[in-house]
């Protein structure tokens, strides 16, 4: 990936429906160049899909992080059980005080409670659960991932 690929990805992230012509014009390259590069990035797995970003809080959906401690080496079997719960969007394996962090969506605090008590805590290998309800997303640097890839970040 080079700088042009990263700039194409930046534009697509803001608007995945941006036309090839508009992208080419913004970057000062041909439409064919943009098309070729997008096709290559799709083929190589840099682009794995296009999506719509919804305002879930406006739709009455709340988001939370569920931090789990798993007993012993049962983490993979716990993950398989958690995958069955439709409220869980992502499961992250982490280093630190917890074994897993789940990103979940529910309609209410009551439904979050039911998810934890009625589903998650029925998995015997889960030792401890902590919950953080997300109230506002504050984007400090939405391009932090691009900065890291392009070498602009001091953390590389």
Running along the chain, 156 residues long, what does each successive block of 10 average in pLDDT?
Answer: 91 91 97 97 92 74 95 92 97 95 95 97 96 84 71 58
Q: So what's the pLDDT on residue 53?
A: 73
Q: What is the pLDDT of residue 104?
A: 97
Is pTM beyond 0.95? Reply is no
Q: How far apart are CA 75 and CA 93, in angstroms?
A: 9
The CATH class for the domain spanning 57-134 reads alpha beta
Identify the helix (H) or strand (E) that includes residue 145.
Answer: helix 144-150
Which CATH class for the 3-52 domain?
mainly alpha
Instruction: Give the residue extent of every domain in the chain.
Output: 3-52, 57-134
Domain 3-52 identical in fold to domain 57-134 = no
Q: What is the 3-state secondary structure (H, E, C) of 29-89?
A: CCHHHHHHHHHHHHHCCCCCCCCCCCCCHHHCCEEEEEEEEECCCCHHHHHHHHCCCCCEE
């Amino acid at each position: 990936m080079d700088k042009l690929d990263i700039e194409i990805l930046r534009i697509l992230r803001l608007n995945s429906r941006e036309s090839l012509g508009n992208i080419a014009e913004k970057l000062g390259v041909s439409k064919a160049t943009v098309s070729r590069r997008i096709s290559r990035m799709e083929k190589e797995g840099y682009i794995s899909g296009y999506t719509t970003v919804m305002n879930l809080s406006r739709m009455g959906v709340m988001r939370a992080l569920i931090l789990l401690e798993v007993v012993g080496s049962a983490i993979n079997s716990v993950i398989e059980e958690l995958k069955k719960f439709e409220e869980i969007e992502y499961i992250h394996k982490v280093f630190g005080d917890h074994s897993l962090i789940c990103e979940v969506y529910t309609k209410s605090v009551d439904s979050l409670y039911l998810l934890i008590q009625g589903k998650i805590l029925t998995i015997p290998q889960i030792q401890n659960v902590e919950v953080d309800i997300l109230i506002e997303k504050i984007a400090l640097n939405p391009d932090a991932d691009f900065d890291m890839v392009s070498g602009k970040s001091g953390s590389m």
